[in-house]
Structure 1
Amino acid sequence: MSPVEHTSLGSTALPADLDEAAHRCLVAGFDGATTVPDALKELIDRGLGGVILFTRNIRDAAQVRRLTDELRALRPDLLVAIDNEGGGIGHLGAAGAPEVPGSYALGVVDDPNLTARCADALAAHLATLGITVSYAPVADLQHRPDNPIVRTRSFGADPEAVARHLRAWITATEARGVASCAKHFPGHGGTATDSHHGTAVDPRPYEALQADLEPFREAVAAGVPMLMSAHVVFPALDPGRPATLSRRILGDLLRHDLGFDGVLVGDALEMKAIADEYGQAAGARIALAAGADQVIIAVGDLNVTLDCRDAVLDAVRTGVLAPERVGEAARRVRRLAERYATPPTTTTVPAPAAGGAGLGLRAARRAVRSRGVPPAARGAHVVDLFPPPHPGLNWGGEDLLNEVRAVDPTATGTAVTGECADPDALVEGIVRRCGAAPLVVATCDAGLHPWQVRLRDALLDRRPDAVLVDTGLPDGGVLHSYGRGRVNLRALAEVLAGA
């Protein structure tokens, strides 16, 4: 279907400035890495506020810079954004992204200067690529054991500690001329559902939610230019709608109580908490009416973006969405673009601070914690149990076994990324291959994945001397890496191998 077929009949009746303002409120994902699709060119020409890049758009660093230059040649004030949290949450591995541990590991170390240096390395890399918006850091608290979405993406559970690290991250990113974005307001840590997959509800009373707001207050005080909302229902704040679609939460709480006047961007509309309950097009319209300044349509199919665009234009034309609200949102986006849209040239980006080489691994080493000191397990058989990362992320197949073998070539092992058809046979095979060698069993958030618990316990029944390791949050192991980024796993491997 062509862009022309998607243009609503009413959109032609809008004044040019209002049409442009409505387009400013959209951030679009797209397929392709070497060419800009025609439908995206049409959106950019009409005033599109931003694009978001994913792994599907990345080949190497030179290609990314050519792509961002081409996008900005079409419209110099176009914002180019990406998720760039560190710790394996990112899309720029093929473009040489710095390897840094995730936020939880940095929170365990609790050295804001180290957090700032890691954030600086990531932001400097973005600047060289022509990417001007980083949808990071995560401001959510991780305080619920069964929360499936925040976990090691958070700096921790303590509001004051998280606030310290947010300030360090935001300040370092801003110093690189890259816009940071604290997420997911007013907090995703109190849910037992991932809003990517369904309706997420935080059932806590109003008083209990105040701690989760403190990191966002600190982010606002630190001058963060963007916040991202959560697709979470908070009955104590607004029982009817998730935060992204709630005037009470975005208006009364965020704008009035917290005093935030930057750009509020709604999380991706294709997430099922919005798409299944409201539909993406209606979600775009309702979010903007509620007080969001931009909405993200992250899917590569631009037909979906055009449907959302048409819903917004038709809502403005019919008065369902007030022109004043769209104008206010567009002004905030323009103000953001004036400050951040033009990146430095590749030759004018200052290098990261001295000692930047190997920074991420040194940081990850500082984060490893143990309950006692397990003996070095050279020549071990390593069983790494973990759920496969989201297919949209830049996972290169790294696992603990690979990292152990890099420091101890005599190691053997097995990586298991999901429930198998015959777990008894798998356990028998592992025990047989291991023989008399030390056995290491690593799990990643086993409490969320019963198949890991069953395999771990079955292996312990056969080998009570096995060394238990946690690569997610602590879960009974003697060693904890607090994340599965490559440097987290390498730091853990060094301890296991006595390197």
Structure 2
Amino acid sequence: LSALLIVLALSGGEDAPQAPTAAQGGDRPSRAAAPRGPGVPRAISELVEEMSTDRKVAQLMLVGLEGFDTGDPVFDSLEELDYAGIVIGARNFVSEEQVTALADEASSVSGDADHTAPWVMAPQEGGEFNAFEGVPPEDAPAQVGSTREAAQLAEEAGEALLDLGLNGILAPVLDVGPSGGGAVGERAYSDVADQVTGYAIATVDAYEEVDIFAAAKHFPGLGSASQSTELGPANVGLTLDELEVRDLVPFRAAVEANVPGIVVGHGLYGVDDFVTPASTSETIVTDVLRDDLGFEGVAIADDLTAPAITSSFRTTAAAVDAVTAGIDTVYVSQDDELQRDVFDALSEAVRKKVITRERLDEAVTRTLVAKHEAGVLEIEGGGSGEPSEDGGSSDGGSGGGG
């Protein structure tokens, strides 16, 4: 099942006036077949076939929290909607015990509603880029001195998050930073592609060793971006050929190392005339990530409330464009009302066949396979597809937590 893993994308902001989007042009048939081969457990294929459209659409979404406690509106939504999972960020952090309470509540609410077990993730990149203060790794990526140290820190971070009740980490950052830091600053391990590649392999292997789902970011590379996507549109002045020999090198290595998830960023690239964010670009997601790099895991769109998106597009329209482009999971960090609007927009796109049933099933299957691989969705016998007696089942049992 190693071929079927995962991809991801993430930031913050309000809906802006809508700009023209690819999805508004009507039907756009999926160019990729839904994953139903021998690598997909029969129970997962059956579950996808039996799931309602609402459940499938909710599985396209990762959502963030607004507050610090289990009274956050997202938990009411989790009871109603079978969201793929939640992301706990720095703004939600008070203490380790409180994080565990949030993680436990997410799993409990989803289980009581007979939903699939949710992802509970955090962006724990290192140093000041950690969601949780005082939790490893202590050093920012740029401060890490060797691949051995990077592997050790990744292992410590993975184990720490698992101990807190989480099952996913939005890391490692595989951007190749330009000399002088650039927009990514100390989030980048190095400004040399081959060095970042070494860190990519070391960290991906370490996360796999401790059995935590990891999503490398920000594909296809933000190292040369004009500014952070958390500030606004970010032009990356590199051609596809230049990306191939520089920024894509670490991601290609991560794919070969079986990274289960990849977060696609919101950079603007020449291949799309610096107009279409990577997270909504079929060229970037399908042609480059899927066809060129051969990635078969879950592709996650970075936070669609980031100013890089909302300065030109509505978050709702961007979510539809992302899924039609080949993204499997869209991340919407805030707020509950906007998250509901995104769910409604995706549902409407499925009803109008802007998002085809094949594309919907493909995305949901990738997510469920990834959850199974990470031990979040339990299926007895793995490849046999038989439901487990203690959790996961072909009728959508919540499975085990991570």
TM-score range, shorter chain: 0.7 to 0.9
Note the residue ranges of structure 1 that are not aligned, 5 or more in a row. 1-14, 344-499
> Partner residue of 2:131?
91
1:157 CA drift (Å):
1.4
Instruction: Encode CA deviations 1:96-134: one digit per residue, 9 max, x unaligned.
Output: 41352111121xx2x211111111111111010011111
For 1:299-378, list aligned pairs within 5 A.
299=334, 301-340=335-374, 342=376
1:45 CA drift (Å):
3.7
> Partner residue of 2:214?
180
> Partner residue of 1:259?
294
Contact 1:18–1:323 (8 Å) recurs in 2: no
1:319 CA drift (Å):
1.5
> Partner residue of 2:106?
71
Q: Distance in 1 between matches of 2:254 and 2:100?
A: 29
Q: Specify which structure has the higher proportion of strand.
A: 1
Amino acid at match of 2:53: L
Contact 1:184–1:229 (8 Å) recurs in 2: yes
Alignment pair present for 1:119 and 2:154? yes
Amino acid at match of 1:50: G
Contact 1:79–1:341 (8 Å) recurs in 2: no
Task: Evaluate the alpha carbon distance shift between residue 16 and residue 118 of structure 1 in structure 2; reply closer, same or farther with a 3 A threshold.
Answer: closer
Q: Distance in 2 between matches of 1:241 and 1:53?
A: 28
Which of residues 165, 170, 187 in structure 2 aligns to 1:135? 170
Alignment pair present for 1:153 and 2:191? no
> Partner residue of 2:3?
none
SS at 2:68 equivalent: coil
Amino acid at match of 1:66: A
> Partner residue of 2:398?
none
> Partner residue of 1:286?
321
Instruction: Encode CA deviations 1:193-220: one digit per residue, 9 max, x unaligned.
Output: 2211111111223322111100000010
Instruction: Encode CA deviations 1:412-437: one digit per residue, 9 max, x unaligned.
Output: xxxxxxxxxxxxxxxxxxxxxxxxxx
1:44 CA drift (Å):
4.6
Task: Evaluate the alpha carbon distance shift between residue 193 and residue 73 of structure 1 in structure 2; reply closer, same or farther with a 3 A threshold.
Answer: same
Which of residues 90, 107, 120 in structure 2 aligns to 1:80? 120
Q: Distance in 2 between matches of 1:49 and 1:238?
A: 32
Note the residue ranges of structure 2 that are not aligned, 5 or more in a row. 1-49, 112-116, 378-402
Instruction: Encode CA deviations 1:343-363: one digit per residue, 9 max, x unaligned.
Output: 9xxxxxxxxxxxxxxxxxxxx
SS at 2:194 equivalent: helix
Q: Distance in 2 between matches of 1:213 and 1:255?
A: 13
> Partner residue of 1:209?
243
Q: Which runs of 4+ in 1 moved over 6 A?
A: none
SS at 1:198 equivalent: coil
Contact 1:80–1:341 (8 Å) recurs in 2: no
Q: Distance in 2 between matches of 1:160 and 1:291?
A: 28
Q: Distance in 1 between matches of 2:73 and 2:139?
A: 38
Task: Evaluate the alpha carbon distance shift between residue 237 and residue 61 of structure 1 in structure 2; reply closer, same or farther with a 3 A threshold.
Answer: same
SS at 1:308 equivalent: helix
1:17 CA drift (Å):
2.1
SS at 2:223 equivalent: coil
Q: Distance in 2 between matches of 1:122 and 1:44?
A: 29
Q: Distance in 2 between matches of 1:98 and 1:251?
A: 34
1:247 CA drift (Å):
0.5
Contact 1:191–1:200 (8 Å) recurs in 2: yes
Cα RMSD, aligned residues only: 2.0
Contact 1:195–1:272 (8 Å) recurs in 2: yes
Residue-pair matches, total? 323
Contact 1:144–1:189 (8 Å) recurs in 2: no
Greater RCO, CA 8 A, separation 6+: 2
Task: Evaluate the alpha carbon distance shift between residue 36 and residue 293 of structure 1 in structure 2; reply closer, same or farther with a 3 A threshold.
Answer: farther
Q: Distance in 1 between matches of 2:126 and 2:208?
A: 17
Amino acid at match of 1:102: A
Instruction: Encode CA deviations 1:34-58: one digit per residue, 9 max, x unaligned.
Output: 3143553334542100101012322
Contact 1:203–1:236 (8 Å) recurs in 2: no
1:236 CA drift (Å):
3.0
Q: Distance in 2 between matches of 1:251 and 1:197?
A: 27
Q: Distance in 1 between matches of 2:137 and 2:255?
A: 28
Q: Distance in 2 between matches of 1:88 and 1:204?
A: 28
Alignment pair present for 1:222 and 2:260? no
Amino acid at match of 1:247: E
Task: Evaluate the alpha carbon distance shift between residue 246 and residue 240 of structure 1 in structure 2; reply closer, same or farther with a 3 A threshold.
Answer: same
For 1:397-408, list aligned pairs within 5 A.
none
Task: Evaluate the alpha carbon distance shift between residue 205 and residue 98 of structure 1 in structure 2; reply closer, same or farther with a 3 A threshold.
Answer: closer
Q: Distance in 1 between matches of 2:57 and 2:137?
A: 38
Q: Select the structure of larger CA radius of gyration.
A: 1
> Partner residue of 2:114?
none
Amino acid at match of 2:129: I
SS at 1:296 equivalent: strand
> Partner residue of 2:277?
242
| TM-score, normalised by the number of residues in structure 1 | 0.62
Alignment pair present for 1:190 and 2:224? yes
Task: Evaluate the alpha carbon distance shift between residue 56 and residue 205 of structure 1 in structure 2; reply closer, same or farther with a 3 A threshold.
Answer: closer
Q: Distance in 2 between matches of 1:302 and 1:37?
A: 9
Task: Evaluate the alpha carbon distance shift between residue 44 and residue 249 of structure 1 in structure 2; reply closer, same or farther with a 3 A threshold.
Answer: farther
Instruction: Encode CA deviations 1:289-342: one digit per residue, 9 max, x unaligned.
Output: 11111111112x201111111111111111222122111111111111122363
Single out whichever of 235-244 and 283-292 deviates more from structure 2.
235-244
Q: Report the identity percentage.
A: 29
SS at 1:307 equivalent: helix
Contact 1:238–1:249 (8 Å) recurs in 2: no
Contact 1:206–1:237 (8 Å) recurs in 2: no
